[in-house]
């Protein structure tokens, strides 16, 4: 009886080996049949558990894929009623009608852009300090300036003064890309980290003097300024696309200011219009030097 046991074991080994060979051939045939179709599209799961390629690293302006805000951070599901009330009472009530702007203002969690000591006032109708003598703008002003730019999903925006990053996030909800420069290095660092954590891969930031714009990514469809100056930086005029729009506070950094909307026609000529008296923090850097 014991002489038959090795033969039985050998037969089982042969059966197992044959099974593995047949399974391997089947897998090769299936893979070949899929890859021979030139129009085949393969979806993979990225690190966020979503089908498709993983989103690019935020603040990487060399990645030209279509990238959109992710809205997966817990802050987006917090204080929703406060945002809805803010839009209804502060923004819609003052004739801001662009549905894209209203949606963006309802979506972006303003409380994620203010300091812990200011959290209770995050959705109040006034600016708030963010440190370094800078502020996060009043929600209505953010909405007004965004609507004035007439953004669409293909717009590329340049922002003068990142600050907390809130204005950039609102624009990023509507447009394709936002390029933002902040002259206060620590604010630039904080905003970059915050926007990355909140999932804004279409906002690109850096520390520097926004007077010179971001020429390697110009021309821009829209330019928005969040600090006041007595003159409009010439490089920004050059980097505004034909047919583009610019809005920024213009006037004495410590006195009377207006929001001014500037458009560039097909011949490159500029037309400006004062649209609202305002009070913004002063723009610093090159703009303060004599022309």
Question: Mind telling me the catalytic residues?
Answer: 137
Nearest of 79, 75, 101, 76 to residue 90 by alpha carbon = 101
Q: What is the per-residue DSSP string for 132-190?
A: TTEEEPPHHHHHHHHHHTT--TT-EEEEE--TTSHHHHHHHTTSSEEEEEESSHHHHHH
Q: How far, in Å, CA of 270 to CA of 253, rounded?
A: 23
SS3 state at 107 = helix
Nearest of 179, 89, 167 to residue 134 by alpha carbon = 167
Give the count of beta carbons closer than 10 Å to the beta carbon of residue 203. Answer: 27
């Amino acid at each position: 009886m014991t002489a038959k046991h090795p033969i039985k074991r050998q037969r089982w080994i042969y059966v197992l080996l044959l099974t593995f060979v047949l399974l391997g051939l089947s897998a090769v045939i299936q893979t070949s049949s899929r890859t021979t179709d030139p129009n085949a599209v393969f979806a993979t799961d990225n690190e966020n558990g979503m089908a498709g390629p993983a989103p690019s690293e935020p603040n990487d302006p060399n990645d030209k894929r279509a990238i959109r805000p992710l809205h997966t951070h817990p802050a987006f599901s917090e204080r929703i009623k406060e945002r809805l009330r803010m839009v209804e009472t502060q923004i819609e009530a003052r004739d801001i009608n662009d549905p894209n702007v209203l949606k963006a203002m309802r979506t972006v969690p303003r409380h994620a852009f203010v300091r812990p000591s200011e959290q209770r006032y995050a959705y109040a109708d006034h600016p708030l300090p963010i440190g370094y003598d800078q502020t996060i703008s009043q929600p209505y002003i953010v909405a007004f300036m965004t609507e004035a730019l007439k953004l669409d999903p293909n717009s590329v925006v340049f922002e003068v003064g990142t600050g907390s990053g809130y204005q950039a996030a609102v624009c990023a909800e509507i447009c394709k890309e936002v390029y933002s420069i902040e002259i206060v290095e620590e604010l630039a660092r904080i905003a970059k980290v915050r926007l990355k954590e909140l999932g804004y891969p279409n906002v690109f930031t850096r520390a520097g003097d926004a007077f010179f714009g971001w020429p390697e990514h110009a021309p821009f469809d829209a330019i928005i300024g969040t600090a006041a100056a007595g003159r409009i930086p010439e490089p920004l005029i050059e980097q505004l696309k034909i047919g583009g729009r610019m809005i920024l506070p213009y006037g004495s950094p410590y006195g009377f200011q207006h929001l001014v909307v500037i458009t560039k026609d097909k011949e490159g000529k500029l037309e400006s219009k004062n649209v609202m008296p305002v009070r913004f923090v002063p723009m610093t850097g090159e703009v303060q030097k004599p022309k």
